[in-house]
Structure 1
């Protein structure tokens, strides 16, 4: 990994799960990690219930816009985390890939979305620790 790793979160519509994950990573990692998010078939706007759930955590994702997934975004990322995009996500050798199986919050109520949000938070916290540990190990070698 480079001194400033890049993490890309991908879900189908880039309107819920990937946007919440990106919001958490920006919040928790600050400027230590470059954060990208994209979708294989991006929606028109971020899911308003996801925006509400993240606002409860003090994180504003209301200004985010769903973005189309490009091979360039995957190529420039050190870590690519997919969330239900299936076979539509391009794969490149040497990248770290994870697939986070999470329920899709599209069309769901706030209680369900809070559950997805909380699971995303737990996974992003673990990811930040892992990336920080990898960076520290790289500085020692």
Structure 2
């Protein structure tokens, strides 16, 4: 079973969406999926909303700090922002590392609809990237 770890700054949006899609789209027999952040910012309600629009419930997930035990045993670590890439611990040599440089939708300003569209765009990018992991 491959252990995959999705990391971003606050484990509130991007890594949570990635965890949700990975758990839905990747075989639970083949993959163990976790997400975390270099900080905890709580689960962003807009991430929950746009994921629900695509049939993925992440409402029970919560913001977590990096667990070094899981980190050191992960087969693949995927950073979803530059901050996490720069601040995460040294990735073990045996671990495959990917970086997906996604914008932080929580930083987008504008109307609620413009903010939601930013979340949808990032959600759709993440879904495409997760399907490529199969």
TM-score by length of structure 2 reads 0.88
Question: 4+ runs of 1 displaced by more than 4 Å?
Answer: none
Which residue number in structure 2 is paired with residue 51 of structure 1? 48
Deviation per CA, 1:43-86, whole angstroms, max 9, x where unpaired?
1x211001000001110001111000132221121000001213
Which residue number in structure 2 is paired with residue 117 of structure 1? 123
TM-score by length of structure 1 reads 0.84
Deviation per CA, 1:78-131, whole angstroms, max 9, x where unpaired?
000001213211121111000100000215411111000000000000012xxx
Contact 2:4 2:32 in 1 (8 A): yes
Unaligned ranges ≥5, structure 2: 109-114
Once residues 41 and 81 of structure 1 are traced to their aligned partners in structure 2, the CA distance between those partners, rounded to angstroms, is 16
Once residues 104 and 118 of structure 2 are traced to their aligned partners in structure 1, the CA distance between those partners, rounded to angstroms, is 10
Once residues 104 and 59 of structure 2 are traced to their aligned partners in structure 1, the CA distance between those partners, rounded to angstroms, is 18
Greater Rg over alpha carbons, structure: 1
Once residues 96 and 7 of structure 1 are traced to their aligned partners in structure 2, the CA distance between those partners, rounded to angstroms, is 9
Which residue number in structure 2 is paired with residue 71 of structure 1? 68
Which residue number in structure 1 is paired with residue 112 of structure 2? none
Which residue number in structure 1 is paired with residue 102 of structure 2? 102
* Paired residues, number: 124
Once residues 8 and 100 of structure 2 are traced to their aligned partners in structure 1, the CA distance between those partners, rounded to angstroms, is 10
Once residues 95 and 68 of structure 1 are traced to their aligned partners in structure 2, the CA distance between those partners, rounded to angstroms, is 19
